Chains A and B, each alone.
Chain A
Amino acid sequence: MPRLGRWGIVTLALAVLGTAPYWVTSSYLLGVLILCNLYAVFASSWDFMSGQTGRENFGHALFVGAGAYTAAFLNVRFGLSPWWSLPAGGLVAVLFGLGIGLPTLRLRGPYFALATLAAATIMQRLTVIFWEQTGGEEGLSGLTPLLRSPAASYYLSLGFMLAVAAILVALASSRWGLLLRSIRGDEAAAQAAGVNTTLHKIGALLVSAFFAGVGGAFYAHYQLQVGPTLFSVVVSITVIIMSYVGGIGSVYGAVGGAFLLTLMTELLRGVGQYRLLFYTLVLMAILFFLPRGFIAPLVQRLRAGGSPS
């Protein structure tokens, strides 16, 4: 097995992705790659909070949907240029993060997990209830795209994904990342070591929310419509599955997991409705057999080149 080294893998991946519009024949497939990039942002932003601190967010869809609907409101209702949606989506998601994080992250126990699940579901219901403002089940449509040409959109999404991944990797490798991982390691011991665990958990959640919100806005301006399903448990759990497949706690693992699962879904096009069933079975299998995930350990073995570490 050739020794690739971590930079070798990254370079290879970048080369493949960077030239995609040239060798990807169908615009449909290019669209799938755009989705891969966006889901990579969702998954890695989830992983930054839940993988680093160990407090698992069961309602990441809340932030995705918040960003997407913000984009829809600003663009469709107020006629603002789509480029405003991105920071706005991030900011609104951060506000949601504060709303959920402040009351629940200072508590021990499962409150954060339950509250995030509840919040996303309730938002989903609220968008249906207040259908006059939000378009109800049908949602809002008629958003303007960020860029017109498919190739340009693709490169924008790629650049976005790479930027987010780079920032998250930098944060995770920083001193802050060390503190966050100590919370995952043993929260009480972290407190005894002088770590203000509540503050840092909230901080991680806000970072996670921000990027998911920006990603949600991007997604809205790519699909050109938004609907209540953006808040669904399905979205939340898809993101979690992607991170689990990649290996919890690893940003590039989450990115890899997002690409793997999104591409696999497309390959299994014929499976159609069974997609979620398949995802769920994958998750259950991973929980039992590969708790460390699949991609990160694989990459580690490639780095070692098969030699004993």
Chain B
Amino acid sequence: MVEILVYGAVTSAIYAMLAVGFTLIFGVARVLNLSHGTFYALGAYFTFTYNGLFKIPLLPAALLAIATVAAFGVLMERFLVRPLRHSALAVLMITLAVSLLIEQVLFLIFGSEYQNVQSFVSAKVVIAGVDLGGQRLLTLGVGTALIAGLWLFIQRTRLGSAILAVSQDPTAAQYMGINTNRVFSIVMAISAALAATAGVLVAPFLTVQPGMGLVPMIKAFSIVILGGLGSIPGSLLAAVVLGYSETLVGYLISSSYTELVSLVAILLALILRPAGLFGKLVAF
């Protein structure tokens, strides 16, 4: 029982990080970033490279990995996405192309075998008589802290207000002197950093292979659609719903059915609530 609670929370935290990043860049810049899963994978791979190959200590390696991915995200947005913003579908295409490109590059460099990334916390923690991996708890803790931090940042700081303003009306925000391009870059960096952090945290206990980002990203879609495209609270709620549903299905039925849960979630979301729980309706 405690296991379900904690594992469900861990899964929810991972999904929340992925989903919030995805919905953030969409809500603010109207960019559906199909490379989002790739940022997740790159977080894991860069950590492996910096720590495993360059022998940098684990924590700095992880932070460096996150920073690298954030920078990559900003560059991608600036040079590949921004010129194509006039067409929502061209943006989908280019981000998908980038993700495929990266996946291929990863495959060519590292091959398809699973890589090993060291755990941050190798200690096991015992709660209520149940053995829980420290790494998983760390994931839960960091995930929660980051999202709470993000929420505070958006609500309390000037930059956060600027981000909110751009997400509501980019043109009006420009009239008020906000540099929308800079906001896009910042949001992209945050989004990529969140995804990369998720990748870094799960790398020790989930499989690290070039295609690792695709399915988590699809799950992020279903969460974001359920919670409403562009709504952070919605994504959080939906992430918890999906995370726990998967954990429950995994424990009660079979672990191979967890993907079905995502499928059902997406279809339900699309059929029942196109605007999601809290989301903004896409205007024509």
A280 with B100: CB separation less than 8 A: yes
State whether the Cβ of B221 lies closer than 8 Å to any Cβ in chain A. Answer: yes
Given contacts A277-B104, A287-B90, contact A108 B97 (CB under 8 A): no
A284 with B97: CB separation less than 8 A: yes
Shortest Cβ distance from residue B214 to the other chain A in the assembled complex, whole angstroms: 6
Closest chain A residue, CB of each to CB of B263: A122
Q: With contacts defined as CB atoms under 8 Å apart, how many contacts are there between chain A and chain B in the complex?
A: 98
A274 with B108: CB separation less than 8 A: yes
Residues of A contacting B215 in the complex (Cβ-Cβ under 8 angstroms): 121, 125
Within 8 A of A (CB), among B96-121: 96-98, 100-101, 104-105, 107-108
B214 with A113: CB separation less than 8 A: no
Residues of A contacting B80 in the complex (Cβ-Cβ under 8 angstroms): 284
Shortest Cβ distance from residue A113 to the other chain B in the assembled complex, whole angstroms: 6
Docked CA distance A58–B108 (Å): 25
State whether the Cβ of A240 lies closer than 8 Å to any Cβ in chain B. Answer: yes
B100 with A237: CB separation less than 8 A: yes
State whether the Cβ of A18 lies closer than 8 Å to any Cβ in chain B. Answer: no
Given contacts A122-B262, A284-B97, contact A109 B282 (CB under 8 A): yes
A237 with B96: CB separation less than 8 A: yes
Within 8 A of B (CB), among A120-140: 121-122, 125-126, 129
Closest chain B residue, CB of each to CB of A191: B284
Chain A proximity mask over B65-103: 1 for CB below 8 Å, otherwise 0? 000000000000000100110001110111011101100
State whether the Cβ of B259 lies closer than 8 Å to any Cβ in chain A. Answer: yes
State whether the Cβ of B252 lies closer than 8 Å to any Cβ in chain A. Answer: no
Residues of B contacting A20 in the complex (Cβ-Cβ under 8 angstroms): none
Main secondary structure of the interface of A (DSSP, over half): helix
Given contacts A277-B101, A287-B97, contact A56 B89 (CB under 8 A): yes
State whether the Cβ of A8 lies closer than 8 Å to any Cβ in chain B. Answer: no
Chain A proximity mask over B249-272: 1 for CB below 8 Å, otherwise 0? 000000011011011001100110
State whether the Cβ of A4 lies closer than 8 Å to any Cβ in chain B. Answer: no
Within 8 A of B (CB), among A45-90: 54, 56, 58
Residues of B contacting A268 in the complex (Cβ-Cβ under 8 angstroms): none
Closest chain B residue, CB of each to CB of A110: B32
Closest chain B residue, CB of each to CB of A278: B104
B100 with A234: CB separation less than 8 A: yes
Given contacts A58-B92, A274-B108, A288-B83, contact A122 B218 (CB under 8 A): yes
Residues of A contacting B97 in the complex (Cβ-Cβ under 8 angstroms): 237, 280, 283-284, 287
A129 with B221: CB separation less than 8 A: no
Residues of A contacting B134 in the complex (Cβ-Cβ under 8 angstroms): none
Residues of A contacting B218 in the complex (Cβ-Cβ under 8 angstroms): 117-118, 121-122
Given contacts A108-B282, A125-B259, A237-B96, contact A281 B222 (CB under 8 A): no
Docked CA distance A129–B262 (Å): 14
Residues of A contacting B262 in the complex (Cβ-Cβ under 8 angstroms): 122
State whether the Cβ of B19 lies closer than 8 Å to any Cβ in chain A. Answer: no
Within 8 A of B (CB), among A161-214: 187-188
16 contacts between A and B (CB under 8 A): A103-B271, A107-B270, A108-B284, A109-B229, A118-B221, A121-B218, A125-B215, A126-B259, A237-B97, A280-B97, A280-B100, A280-B101, A284-B94, A284-B98, A287-B84, A291-B90
